[in-house]
């Protein structure tokens, strides 16, 4: 009995994706719940696991576009016994081998003899045609010695004996391109843009075309937050099992500022302004697939430990490609921390249709004037980009000042002032 492996539904707005990678080879034996492929859509990248155990037959190559519900492989459940047979009791095997030592090799040879060409999977057959490798000359690593696609590709990489070439008149050769591991000697390389990267591009263009975007700046003295973290870090870790970071302070400061300046906690829908009375804050997370913005729910009701735990959990899921659509939807405001990459100053683009985004930057010691004296303080630039159609300059500047005040005097967050 063969079970079909289909692309699962990922949400109402997702109809297709790219089968980015197979984690198994054609003809491999897979266990139930074992990750078998990675699917990349315009919103998330996720892994899919085998629903049953058996031998997998791959029907769609990696990097191909697939539709929701499409069959990309089948799993032969009748091959389940193969793995268990190999793990049979050694005592019984030893007894049988001692009884008939001359017959055992012949029997094993007869059982494992397989026509390498007739048993090729579609993927392996295609690889053989493209590489010119003769499957009959390849030692198979699949079930019962079957030749898999990976066997063909490995055989194609093997060096072939050099043949003597006829002498030719010498020519002036062009200057060679220095080969590196990155370009393999090629001057240009091309690859298809991933659905996630295409969606990010579309959203950024939409934000710049639909919104009247403007950015205002300020700077914040991080001394108080750094002192507070140092003072309570050990007890915080002992109690909660995680470190107290800067992002939880800024998340609470943004929540505080949204409560103080409700005009920022709104969005435009057609000719209407929709005021939002909840505080779900998105935190941008960079991954090797692109930027994702998981949403921290009800930040007004959460403490520092809960926010830190949510950030760590979402970042791990995003980087492992296991984040869900529901984790990315419904935010009212976004925080982007370019400072972790060394950014000094930038103008972030709003996460449309959200009305604003806060950009954080790296902390550097600078000379500043405090009470008439020049002192060295750890300073950070803040950037607030906002939709000027909805938010006026007064509200934007007030909002950013509220964040600055809360970071420079964190006790304000305790008293809500």
Catalytic-residue membership of 298: no
pLDDT at 286: 79
List 33, 67, 392, 409, catalytic entry: 392
Other residues' Cβ atoms within 10 Å of the Cβ of residue 194 = 19
CATH of 109-156, one of 3.40.50, 2.60.40, 1.10.10, 4.10.320: 4.10.320
Other residues' Cβ atoms within 10 Å of the Cβ of residue 40 = 22
Host H or E run for residue 209: helix 195-210
pLDDT at 172: 52
List 23, 240, 280, 388, catalytic entry: 388
CA distances from 290 to 269, 385, 388, 415 (A): 28, 21, 27, 38
Domain map (residue ranges) of the chain: 1-98, 109-156, 195-415
Catalytic-residue membership of 256: no
Residue 281, both tokens: 């804050």
Strands 333-337 and 356-360 come out as parallel
pLDDT at 200: 76
State the Cα–Cα distance between residues 72 and 59, nearest whole angstrom. 5
Q: Which residues contact 368 (CB under 8 A, 6 or more apart)?
A: 221, 374, 375, 376, 377, 379
pLDDT at 417: 75
Q: Which residues contact 223 (CB under 8 A, 6 or more apart)?
A: 377, 378, 408
pLDDT at 397: 96
Residue with token string 């769609």: 60
pLDDT at 374: 96
CATH superfamily of 195-415: Chloramphenicol acetyltransferase-like domain (3.30.559.10)
Q: How many angstroms separate the first and last alpha carbons of the chain?
A: 67
Q: What per-residue string of b and e applies to 285-314 under the rule 16 or more CB within 10 Å gives b? A: bbeebbbbbbbbeebeebebeebbbbbeeb
**Range 1-98: architecture per CATH:** Beta Barrel (2.40)
pLDDT at 278: 95
Q: What is the DSSP string of 387-413?
A: ETTT--HHHHHHHHHHHHHHHHSTHHH
pLDDT at 175: 53
Local confidence pLDDT in tens for the 417 residues of the chain: 688 888 887 665 567 778 878 989 988 999 888 888 888 776 667 778 888 888 998 988 887 888 888 898 998 888 754 444 444 334 444 444 444 444 444 444 444 445 556 666 656 676 777 777 777 777 777 666 777 766 777 777 665 554 455 555 555 555 554 545 556 678 888 877 777 777 778 878 888 888 899 999 999 999 999 999 999 999 999 999 999 999 999 999 999 999 999 999 999 998 999 999 999 999 988 777 777 889 999 999 999 999 999 999 998 888 777 787 788 888 999 999 998 888 999 999 998 889 999 999 999 999 999 999 999 999 999 999 999 999 999 999 999 999 999 999 998 888 777
pLDDT at 152: 74
pLDDT at 42: 63
> Does the predicted TM-score (pTM) go above 0.75?
no
Q: Taking the CA atoms of the chain, what radius of gyration do you get in angstroms?
A: 30
């Amino acid at each position: 009995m063969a079970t079909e492996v289909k692309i699962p539904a990922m949400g109402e707005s997702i109809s297709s994706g790219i089968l980015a990678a197979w984690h198994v080879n054609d003809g491999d034996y897979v266990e139930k719940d074992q990750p078998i492929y990675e699917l990349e859509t315009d919103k998330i990248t996720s892994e899919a696991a085998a629903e049953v155990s058996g031998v997998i037959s791959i029907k769609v190559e990696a990097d191909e576009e697939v539709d929701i519900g499409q069959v990309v492989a089948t799993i032969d459940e009748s091959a389940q016994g193969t793995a268990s047979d190999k793990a049979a009791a050694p005592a019984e095997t030893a007894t049988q081998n001692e009884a008939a030592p001359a017959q055992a090799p012949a029997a094993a040879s007869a059982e494992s003899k397989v026509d390498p060409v007739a048993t090729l999977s579609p993927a392996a057959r295609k690889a053989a045609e493209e590489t010119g490798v003769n499957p009959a000359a390849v030692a198979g690593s699949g079930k019962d010695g079957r030749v898999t696609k990976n066997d063909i590709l490995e055989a194609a990489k093997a060096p072939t004996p050099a043949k003597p070439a006829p002498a030719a008149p010498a020519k002036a050769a062009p200057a060679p391109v220095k080969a590196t591991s990155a370009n393999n000697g090629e001057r240009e390389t091309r690859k298809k843009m991933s659905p996630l990267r295409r969606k990010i591009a579309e959203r950024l263009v939409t934000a710049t075309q639909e919104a009247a975007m403007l950015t205002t700046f300020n700077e914040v003295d991080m001394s108080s937050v750094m002192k507070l973290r140092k003072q309570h870090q050990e007890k915080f870790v002992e109690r909660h099992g995680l470190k107290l970071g800067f992002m939880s302070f800024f998340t609470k400061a943004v929540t505080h500022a949204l409560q103080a300046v409700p005009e920022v906690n709104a969005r435009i829908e057609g000719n209407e302004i929709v005021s939002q009375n909840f505080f779900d804050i998105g935190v941008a997370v960079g991954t090797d697939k692109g930027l994702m913005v998981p949403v921290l729910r009800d930040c007004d009701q959460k403490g520092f430990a809960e926010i830190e735990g949510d950030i760590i959990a979402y970042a791990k899921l995003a980087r492992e490609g296991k984040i869900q659509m529901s984790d990315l939807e419904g935010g009212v405001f976004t925080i982007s921390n370019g400072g972790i990459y060394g950014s000094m100053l930038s103008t972030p683009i709003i996460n449309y249709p959200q009305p604003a985004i806060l950009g954080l930057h790296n902390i550097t010691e600078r000379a500043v004037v405090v009470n008439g004296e020049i002192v060295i303080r750890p300073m950070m630039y803040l950037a607030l980009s906002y939709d000027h159609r909805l938010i006026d300059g007064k509200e934007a500047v007030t909002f950013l000042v509220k964040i600055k005040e809360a970071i420079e005097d964190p006790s304000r967050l305790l008293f809500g002032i």
